[in-house]
Amino acid sequence: MKILVINGPNINMLGIREPGIYGNQNYETLLCDIDGWADELGCEVECFQSNHEGAIVDEIQQAYGQFDGIVINPAAYTHTSVAILDALKSVAIPTVEVHISDVTKRENFRQISYAGMACEHHIIGKGLEGYKLALEYLCNKYR
Ligand code: DQA
């Protein structure tokens, strides 16, 4: 079971960016946590972060035939990117959408999720723990 974790723009700024919304933990610690959770669950995980929409599309396309599941937090591209939605639909890999903050309670422009339309499960507003829940969901799916 191989899972690809994709993070969009500014997720690498965790710990610095808007701590009142995203918390104090930094991106490197999140990567360590993800490795630990993957070990516990007995799955293999690769993490990818980019600030560039096209790079995220490339990564999704390259996941075809290589990964059994995707965990994606497209960050701001969630609310704008039909290209990421189409890429997820193209590869048809079971995908879980994660948002650290509760986007449902934030600005109007965050109320649409294009990428979410290609996701079979959504974890919203659970903080960084959301990534763990997403990994658990995908691992349980294959048990
Ligand atoms: C986010 C929510 C998005 O609206 C925002 O643009 C982000 C992070 C989250 O994880 O809560 O960058 O995806």
- What residue type is assigned to position 122 of the chain? H
What are the chain's domains? 2-142 (3.40.50.9100)
For residue 7, give the H/E element and its range.
strand 2-7
Pocket-forming residues, ligand 1, beta carbon under 6 Å? 10, 73, 75-76, 78, 99-101, 103, 110
Q: Are strands 95-99 and 121-124 parallel, antiparallel or unpaired?
A: parallel
Joined together, the tokens standing for residue 18 give: 């808007």
- Tell me, what's the pLDDT at 132? 98
Per-residue pLDDT tens digits for 76-119: 999 999 999 999 999 999 999 999 999 999 999 999 999 999 99
Instruction: Tell me the CA–centroid distance for residue 106 and ligand 1, in Å.
Output: 10
Could you identify the atom of ligand 1 that is nearest to the CA of residue 73?
13
Strand order through the sheet with 69-73? 44-49, 2-7, 69-73, 95-99, 121-124
Catalytic (active site) residue 99: yes
Per-residue pLDDT tens digits for 64-77: 999 999 999 999 99
CB 119 within 8 A of CB 72: yes
- Tell me, what's the pLDDT at 129? 98
Instruction: Give the residue, by CA position, lying nearest to ligand 1 atom 6.
Output: 76
pLDDT of residue 61 exceeding 80, the answer is yes
